[in-house]
Amino acid sequence: IFAAVELAPRDPILGLNEAFNADTRETKVNLGVGVYYDDNGKIPLLAAVKAAEQARLQQQPPRGYQPIEGLGAYNTAVQNLLFGAGSELTAAGRVITAEALGGTGALKIGADFLKRLNAESKVYISDPSWENHRALFESAGFTVENYPYYDAGTRGVNFAAMKAALLSYAPGSVIVLHACCHNPTGADLSDAQWAEVVEACRERGLVPFLDMAYQGFADGIEPDAVAVRLFSASGLQFFVSSSFSKSFSLYGERVGALSIVTANKDESTRVLSQLKRVIRTNYSNPPIHGGAVVAAVLSSPELRQQWEDELAGMRDRIRAMRTGLVEAIKAEGVTQDFSFVIAQRGMFSYTGLTAAQVETLKNDFGIYAVSTGRICLAALNSKNIGYVAASIAKVL
């Protein structure tokens, strides 16, 4: 049966974890995957999460099946974060939300639903984009192409090229947009540019699909939602995939959601009914624990405040690591200007390191990064930052 099966390449991001775990060097550092570690190099269990989990365990809740679309209280909490509490869209019944298996799961059910809706559409992702975007939409059966995005010269966005490309696409094309903290570049659009993207989508009749995996990691929950809010105000229909992996440090619980904004309540009812068929034939219904914990935190004013404070702590520590890395590289005598790292947003820096330099970092120093030169700043800490800076200086 399996004689003709070829060996698949390792996943470009999660495959690094496999190689990292097998590395026996004590000085090894994993700057590959987008995971937040605290200053002791540990993935934190947030205090707000711990409190909600303890309360939940005491209740000893039964483990029945969830509704296909997940927990209602969770889906409402997701909508409040994305669209704002008191959003007119949610009040009008124009938003449906389904709990999903992380942001990846949300993208997958969205992609499968879109394929049933319009099998011939093309999907456009940013150049570059998160490695899994292309694979995910291709595996749903779409042809995936890039729209211009990152400008290596300015380390910013080539917005003129991006907008011109959007305005050239066929109506119905799916445009995957990073709502904040662009992965992998850390280069985001300004609010004014987002407004232009919304207008371009309207003008060409495009299908916007916003991927929001890092809400709260740039400036905060509300400011980071600006893209979603601008699309909300536009009257357009669109998709949003979101995730609590990073913001709640709940990676392995797979807690995400797909939200779809429709034209009206009746459409919402029909869209949800179809989305439920997609979910039922993929994994039936989502697991209970992670979503219940997030819902408990977000529906308690005290726990929600505690969570926002902890999230701000993660954001501030990443920022400190950005400045720290730039200073440490400079202190190593490197003359090349790395100050752009400070301006990039979210967990990542697109360092400009070549694939060969990344390979040397791994082989000679046990420092793992994505071959594109993306590093995760959230894996740096006060103990390893000097070693990482010195190693980068050597490979340069």
Q: Which residues are catalytic?
A: 130, 211, 246
Position among 132, 232, 259, 351 found at the interface with ligand LMR (CB under 6 A): 132
Of residues 92-121, those binding ligand LMR (CB under 6 A):
104
Of residues 168-207, those binding ligand LMR (CB under 6 A):
183
Position among 33, 157, 240, 294 found at the interface with ligand LMR (CB under 6 A): 33
User: Of 104 and 249, which CB lies nearer to ligand LMR in the complex structure?
Assistant: 104
d(CA 244, CA 103): 8
If one asks whether residue 30 binds ligand LMR (CB under 6 A), the answer comes out as no
d(CA 12, CA 33): 9
d(CA 259, CA 113): 12
If one asks whether residue 90 binds ligand LMR (CB under 6 A), the answer comes out as no
Closest approach of ligand LMR to the CB of residue 39, in Å: 20
Of residues 329-348, those binding ligand LMR (CB under 6 A):
none
Evaluate whether 109 touches 258 at the Cβ level (below 8 Å).
Answer: yes
Position among 130, 231, 338, 340 found at the interface with ligand LMR (CB under 6 A): 130
Closest approach of ligand LMR to the CB of residue 11, in Å: 8
Evaluate whether 166 touches 197 at the Cβ level (below 8 Å).
Answer: yes
How far is the CA of 60 from the CAs of 53, 55, 253, 291, in angstroms? 11, 9, 18, 16
User: Of 115 and 254, which CB lies nearer to ligand LMR in the complex structure?
Assistant: 254
- Find the residue with minimal CB distance to ligand LMR: 34
User: Of 132 and 215, which CB lies nearer to ligand LMR in the complex structure?
Assistant: 132
Q: In the chain, which residue ranges form alpha helices assigned H by DSSP?
A: 14-22, 47-59, 72-83, 88-91, 102-117, 131-139, 159-166, 191-204, 226-234, 265-282, 289-299, 301-331, 340-343, 355-365, 385-395
User: Of 102 and 156, which CB lies nearer to ligand LMR in the complex structure?
Assistant: 102
DSSP string, 209-250: EEEES-TTSSS-TTGGGHHHHHHHHHT--EEEEEE-TTTTT-
- Total of chain residues touching ligand LMR, rule CB under 6 A: 8
If one asks whether residue 285 binds ligand LMR (CB under 6 A), the answer comes out as no
- Each residue 136-175 as x (binds ligand LMR by CB under 6 A) or -, in order, gives ----------------------------------------
Closest CA to 159 of 191, 203, 121: 191
Beta-strand relationship, 150-151 and 238-243? unpaired
Closest CA to 41 of 385, 355, 280, 390: 385
User: Of 80 and 146, which CB lies nearer to ligand LMR in the complex structure?
Assistant: 146
Of residues 211-250, those binding ligand LMR (CB under 6 A):
213
Contact positions vs ligand LMR (CB under 6 A): 13, 33-34, 104, 130, 132, 183, 213
